[in-house]
Structure 1
Amino acid sequence: MRENPAFDAPSDDEIRRLIRENPSVTLVSNTSDGLVASHYPVVLDESADGIAILSHVGRPDERLHELGQHEVLVVVQGPHGYISPGWYDANPAVPTWNFIVAHLHGVPEILSDAENLDVLARLVDHFEDRMPEPRRMNGTLENAEYAARISAGTVGFRLTATRIEAKWKLSQNRPAETVERIIHELSVGEHYANPALAAEMRRVHPLAVPPQTA
């Protein structure tokens, strides 16, 4: 990913927030048979000193990725969307695409069966917490026994990032009045409304206030 200091990630804490809020990632491996990509949910390892994620793959993906044998790339994609040059000013301009993303590089650590079962339970809890009646993986003895059986079809891993490339491309190179128009269009515009992306822009442009509608 091309580096541009203007679009650097604000902090490691913001990268952690990105992972928490966007847990569906793309796992890419350069294997002996070529590139392999898979898509899995992850949870942030909150106990890690650096940035680490916990997840699992379904068999036989661990063989397809040659998991644990080499470095892999995990792509965490946040809100993104089209930015029209019509939202700028009268000067000649071209469109662009705003986004936030982090690339995590590292060699996955294969987890034991017990650790894998714990990660699976964390994943379930992460998504079930907001449900009115959460269905916990270990909520009942029957559920726990079933989960223990089907977990044999998965391989858990921890990826501690040894290298991170992250970009918050959110119109930091535009004047304040342009940023306000972009946020307004993303918030309530008719054609490319994208409230999630507008919210990310407000985080890096805290003084920008969308123009009020009549």
Structure 2
Amino acid sequence: MRQNPSFALTDIGELRRLVDLNPWASLVSHTDEGLVASHYAVLLDDQRDDLTIVGHVGRPDDLIHGLGERELMVIVQGPHGYISPGWYGDVPAVPTWNFVSAHLSGVPELLSTAENLAVLDRLVDRFESRMPRPRPMWQAPNDEAFVERLERGTTGFRLTPSRVVAKRKLSQNRSSEVVETIIAELSGDGPAAQPALAAEMRRALDARRMRGAP
């Protein structure tokens, strides 16, 4: 991802928020056979306050990626959407795409069985907690043997990125008035509506105004 200083996302708190709100990530490795990509949920390491993430892959994806032996890139994709040139007013313009995204790269550490079980437990709780009748990982009819068999079919990892490239492109190069128009279009019921992106742009615009920027 080509970096642009105007859109660079470097604040650790904002990056942690991006990962926390968008746990479904793409894992990319360069292998002897070429590039390979997988898709898994990841979580922030709850023992750290940096950008360390934890997750797992199903076997044999660990071997396919060379997990723990070579660099892994984890791509976290936040809200995104099409921006029509018609939203800029009667000025020369072309379409673009607004988005928030981060690439976290480094050589991951493989987790022990106990650590992997703890991560799997956290993952289940993270998403089951929203269900009307949550089913924790250890709840019957799951028993210890079933959970242990499940764990053996996965490989857990912890990644503390040695390289981070993150971008938040939310029309920061446009006036507040134009950004308001874009937010209204994205919040509506038109063909390009993206409420999550509109909310992210609103948050960025409010922060911009608090700084006194036009």
The reply to whether TM is greater than 0.5 is yes
Structural mapping, 1:39-58, within 5 Å:
39-58=39-58
CA–CA separation in structure 1 for the residues paired with 2:203 and 2:143: 41
Partners of 2:10 and 2:202 in 1: how far apart? 13
How far does residue 134 in structure 1 lie from its aligned partner after superposition? Answer: 1.0
Deviation at 1:162, TM superposition (A): 1.3
Query: Once the 2 structures are TM-superposed, how far is the Cα of residue 144 of structure 1 from its aligned partner?
Result: 3.6
Matched residue type, 1:52: T
1:29-108 equivalence runs, <5 A? 29-108=29-108
- Residue 148 of structure 1 and its aligned partner are, at CA, apart by 1.2
Q: How many aligned positions are there?
A: 209
Instruction: Give the letter for the 2:96 counterpart.
Output: T
| 2:64 counterpart letter in structure 1 | L
Shift of the 31–175 alpha-carbon distance from structure 1 to 2, 3 Å rule, reads same
1:208, distance to aligned residue in structure 2 (A):
8.8
Identity %: 58
CA distance in 2, matches of 1:170, 1:200: 8
Contact between 2:25 and 2:40, CA under 8 Å: does it hold in 1? yes
Q: What does 1:126-137 align with in structure 2 at a 5 Å threshold?
A: 126-137=126-137
Query: Judging changes above 3 Å, is the alpha-carbon distance between structure 1 residues 194 and 42 closer, same or farther for their aligned structure 2 residues?
Result: same
**Greater CA deviation, 79-88 or 157-166?**
157-166
Matched residue, 1:122: 122
**Could you tell which deviates more after superposition, 140-149 or 1-10?**
140-149
Rounded to whole Å, the distance in 2 between the matches of 1:12 and 1:5 is: 16
Change (3 A) 1:126 1:207: closer
Alignment of 1:1-214 (within 5 A): 1-9=1-9, 11-140=11-140, 142-206=142-206
Gaps of 5+ in 2: 210-214
Alpha-carbon distance in structure 2 between the residues aligned to 1:30 and 1:76: 18
CA drift at 1:203:
1.2
Q: Which amino acid aligns with 1:179?
A: V
TM-score calculated relative to the size of structure 1: 0.93
Q: Any stretches of 5+ residues in structure 1 without a counterpart? A: 210-214
- Report the CA distance between 1:16 and its aligned residue: 0.7
Segments ≥4 residues shifted beyond 6 Å: none
1-structure distance, mates of 2:206, 2:136: 38
Alpha-carbon RMSD across the aligned residues, in angstroms, is: 1.6
State the alpha-carbon separation in 2 of the partners of residues 57 and 198 from structure 1. Answer: 33
Q: Secondary structure at the match of 2:167?
A: strand
Mapped to 1, the partners of 2:116 and 2:186 lie a distance apart of 40
The secondary structure found in structure 1 opposite 2:206 is coil
Distance in 2 (CA, whole Å) between partners of 1:46 and 1:117 is 14
1:27-46 deviation line (CA, Å, top 9, x unaligned): 00011221110000111112
Amino acid at match of 1:106: G
Q: Is the 8 A contact 1:137 1:143 kept in 2?
A: no
Residue-by-residue CA offset, 1:138-184 (whole Å, 9 max, x unaligned): 23484443111121110000011111111000000001111010000
**Whole-angstrom distance in 2 between the partners of 1:188 and 1:64:** 43
TM-score (norm 2): 0.93
